[in-house]
Structure 1
Amino acid sequence: MVATGPLSGPLFSPDLIGTDVVTSFPEGYTIRALERGDYAKGFLDCLGVLSDVGDVSQDRFEERFDWMKTQGQGVHYHVVIEHENRVIGTGAIIVERKFIHNLGLIGHIEEVAIRKDFQGKGLGLKLLASLSSIAKNVGCYKTTLGTSPENEPFYVKCGYNKSGNIMNQYFEEPKEPYYRG
């Protein structure tokens, strides 16, 4: 199904990703906002590198996309790296509105994934730079993320510092980490 009108096009304004970041990608690679048509370009398969996605039909994907574009504006910023008409990388920033820090905004980095055959090419670093660019452009005073100990060196290389521990409380049956998220 092809959307027209307000639901067609990118999830958010492309202007939120700085030109310096956009032009830093190698020829043939494009960083941009998630679009409805990315289901067919393997967006969920790309996320599958990170965690179990589940059985998500195109209709369910589009329903979630439409909600984010209409009800979640100013909160949900999902980016993709496209190469040869295929999504090969993705990440998201979820903006939290605080009462502290003068009603500040914090960007929560989530769902960072690069397809296995594209890892080690510097694309993850550039992906994180795009999310940082969005965070700065929407007025966040910081970004935060959770990661496994084995991935800490990558995020340090991207400019992140270890700052405490993240605790989780799960509300479903115990699962292996890949399936738990």
Structure 2
Amino acid sequence: MLPTRLEAEKQIREIKIDDIPSVLPLYITYYNENEDGCWTETTAGKRIHQVLSMEDSYGLVLEKDDQVIGFVMGFFKQYDDIVGYTLEEIVIAKDFQNQGLGSFLLNELEQRAKEKGASCVELQAVNDEMHEKYYGKAGYYTAANFVMKAKWFE
């Protein structure tokens, strides 16, 4: 059974740079086992540190019995007339997946980001059925007025 908002306040807290050692194994395991990544402690640690040390970064850690079982991180971004929240990563430990905890953590992040002044949450996701189902269930849609552009160097 998912925790109530009151219970969540005891299980969810803001993420800090000091949390990198406890979220690192979750990150590496998730991306290497589920998304065919090749993350190492060095590369994943740098990635997480980059996001957490960014100005206006904000994220949450989900704990159960004093063990980190998930986290979400990103940052607030100023536009001309609104503030948005850019979601960079959300990870739930493998043993706790498919229990609604990712949706619970995402919902809690949305509520807290809104309380902090964000008008929206934006993100980039892999274009596959799993991500479409997960984010679609949470009310996210593919923005038709934005496209991702990239240029690879030779």
TM range, normalised to the smaller chain?
0.7 to 0.9
**Deviations, residues 90-138 of structure 1 (Å, cap 9, x unaligned):** 1113111012xxx311111111111111111110111111221122112
After superposition, residues 157-176 of structure 1 pair within 5 angstroms as 157-164=137-144, 166-169=147-150
Pair member with larger Rg = 1
How many matched pairs? Answer: 141
User: How much identity, in percent, do the aligned residues show?
Assistant: 26
| Pairwise CA RMSD | 3.2
**C-alpha separation in 2, matches of 1:138 and 1:95:** 9
Aligned to 1:14: none
Contact 1:32 1:80 (C-alpha < 8 Å) held by counterparts: yes
Q: 2:116 aligns with which of 123, 127, 138?
A: 138
Which amino acid letter does the alignment assign opposite residue 161 of structure 1? Y
List gaps (5 residues or longer) in structure 2: 32-36
**C-alpha separation in 2, matches of 1:172 and 1:34:** 34
Contact 2:84 2:120 (C-alpha < 8 Å) held by counterparts: yes
TM-score, normalised via structure 1 length? 0.63
Alpha-carbon distance change, 149 to 106 in structure 1, aligned in 2, over 3 angstroms:
same
TM-score, normalised via structure 2 length? 0.73
After superposition, residues 38-53 of structure 1 pair within 5 angstroms as 38-41=19-22, 43-48=23-28, 49-50=30-31, 52-53=38-39
1:90 is the counterpart of 2:71: yes
Aligned to 1:126: 104
**C-alpha separation in 2, matches of 1:54 and 1:170:** 25
